[in-house]
Amino acid sequence: MNMSIKRFSVGFLAVIAAVVGIWAGFFPLSFHNEFPLPGWGWVSRLGPYNEHVVRDYGLSNVALLIITTWAWLRPDEKVYRVVGGGRLAYSVIHFIWHMLHLSAFPTVSRVGAVVSLSLIVVFSLLPMLPDRSRRAAEAP
């Protein structure tokens, strides 16, 4: 896996963290009622509004945004592995929870949740993969 793909992955994760983090952290009722798009209400289908929980989720993503952006600005193999590992731990648990609760959604939302959460898992894994180009350059 080359560094440009890893850097793109880390940037993608930062953008997702920014959108979700700012929306849920600073506009929790709107996030609860409207995420991922107005009228869809994925979060509201999972239970009653709890400002504390939604803000905590959002601000956790703001923390991930800060760490992920820092990594994006300093492209380094080790930094990408650490950030990817942390993001992977977070995103796999989030993915599993949502896969166990898909029954609350209509089919189009189920597909959307599976695809979007799968992408986040994949983009968390990519920065952790070995750099083939570097390994080839070091070969005798």
Structural domain contains residue 17:
yes
N-to-C CA span, the chain = 20
Q: Render 20-50 in DSSP notation, one character per residue.
A: HHHHHHH-HHHHHHHTTSTTT-TTGGGSS--
Put simply, whether the predicted model's pTM sits higher than 0.85 gets the answer yes
Contact 109, 93 (CB under 8 A): no
Could you report the per-residue pLDDT of 14-53, keeping only the tens digit for each? 999 999 999 999 999 999 999 999 999 999 999 999 999 9
Structural domain contains residue 136:
no
pLDDT band, very low/low/confident/very high, at 131 (cuts 50, 70, 90):
confident
> What six digits make up the tokens of 97?
């929870």
Q: In terms of residue numbers, what domain contains 96?
A: 3-130
pLDDT score for 137: 53
Structural domain contains residue 135:
no
- Torsions phi, psi of 59, nearest 5? -75, -25
Structural domain contains residue 139:
no
Which residues, other chains included, contact 59 with Cβ-Cβ below 8 Å and sequence gap of 6+? 21, 24, 25
Structural domain contains residue 99:
yes
How many domains is the chain built from?
Answer: 1
